[in-house]
Amino acid sequence: MKKNILLVVIALVACVASVSAQGRKGLCINEVMVHNDSSVIDDYGMRHAWVELYNSTHASMEISSVYLTNDKNNPTLYPVPLGDVNTEIPALQHVLFWADGEPNKGTFHMSFTIKPGETIYIFDADQQTILDQVTIPVDLAPNTTFARKEDGKGGVNAEAWEVRDGGEKYITPSSNNIIVDTNTKVESFRTLDSNGFVLTLMAMSIVFSALLILSICFYFISKVGGLVSRINKIRSHGGDPKTVTAEDAPAHDSGEEIAAIVMALHEHLNAHDQENTILTINKVKKAYSPWSSKIYGLRELPRR
């Protein structure tokens, strides 16, 4: 009983650990603008600094109760309010927070402003775990942004960020930093493998490899299984499995062999009574066979 309870506790701990591991780790800062004179305007028609958050996971994420701040020692500077349906970010999507210091304007208006050289943090609801942070370059020019080269990629590594001036490098509030207009995988196959030979070669190799590995694995499992069942068989007959090799072990007997053995024993023991008939063994060809029967193969469910 104690053993069972221990197993259940271990399973529960494993489940809880896996759930907390998912958390909000995929929430990150994706793009920041400090001086906004010509870029996007808010719902009130005003231009302010903004911070774009990105949900890099493939599931929607509710971000109410996380904290945004530009002061590491004051992690609760701006708590994202509860009760707003817009704080649920769809998978691989963005939300924009205005750094205007006017939180009374709504959920997405933070209680602080930002300046070049400052660091912006996202703290998790526990007020201790930093989910992401970015330090804005001191020389970030007006109407330029500091953005991740690829959405949600690179963590806190400064190499993953770049300055965007709105020219060749787009400024993309509430939108992907990389605008993809074609499926690059499909395009590469279209141009480099127009007849499909390369894909066929690669795919067939993978399919063969996967099934070959499975096949080899079960070859060895069957060998071990066969040996174990032989040993069990010998043990059930009173033999000593340690002294018996695989060759010594009784193999599967065919029906014909069993019939011949029974006949020989019958003759040897002279187990006749008053009959005067002659017993013969005729091989009969029947249309039915267990090999063609569905009940032996497809539907029968084993019971313990």
Partner 1 sequence: MEQSLSEFMAGNLRTFWEMTGFYNATWEHFVMLAVGMFFLWLAIKKNFEPMLLVPIGFGILIGNIPFASGMEVGIYEEGTVLNILYNGVSAGWYPPLVFLGIGAMTDFTALIANPKLMLVGAAAQFGIFGAYMVALALGFAPDQAGAIAIIGGADGPTAIFLSSKLAPNLMGAIAVSAYSYMALVPVIQPPLMRLFTTKKERLIKMKPARAVSQNEKIIFPIVGLLLTCFVVPTALPLLGMLFFGNLLRECGVTTRLAKTASNALTDIVTILLGMTVGASTQASEFLTIETIGIFFLGFMAFIIASSSGVLFVKLFNLVLPKDKKLNPLIGNAGVSAVPMSARISNNVGLEYDPSNYLLMHAMGPNVAGVIGSAVAAGVLLSFLG
Nearer to partner 1, 102 or 193 (CB): 193
* Residue 80 to residue 82: CA distance in whole angstroms: 7
User: From CA 40, how far away is CA 42, in angstroms rounded?
Assistant: 7
E strand segments, the chain: 27-33, 49-55, 61-62, 67-69, 78-79, 88-89, 94-99, 119-123, 130-135, 145-148, 161-164
User: 119 vs 209, which CB is nearer to partner 1?
Assistant: 209
Minimal distance, residue 225 CB to partner 1, in Å: 5
- CA-CA-CA-CA dihedral for 153, 155, 159, 165, to nearest 10: 60
Cα 98 from Cα 132, distance rounded (Å):
18
- Least Å distance, CB 21 to partner 1, is 18
Shortest spacing between CB 235 and partner 1, in angstroms = 15
Smallest gap, in angstroms, from Cβ of residue 27 to partner 1? 24
The nearer residue to partner 1, 278 or 301, going by C-beta atoms, is 301
Can you tell me the distance from the alpha carbon of 304 to that of 297, in angstroms, rounded to the nearest whole number?
18
Our CB check for partner 1 shows the closer of 174 and 183 to be 183
End-to-end CA distance of the chain: 22
Which is nearer to partner 1, 4 or 292 (by Cβ)?
A: 292
SS (H, E, C) 30-47: EEEECCCCCCCCCCCCCC
Footprint of partner 1 (CB under 8 A) = 183, 185-186, 189-190, 193-197, 199-200, 202-204, 206-219, 221-222, 225-226, 228-229, 252, 285, 287, 289, 291-292, 294, 297-304
- State the minimum distance, in angstroms, from the CB of residue 142 to partner 1: 42
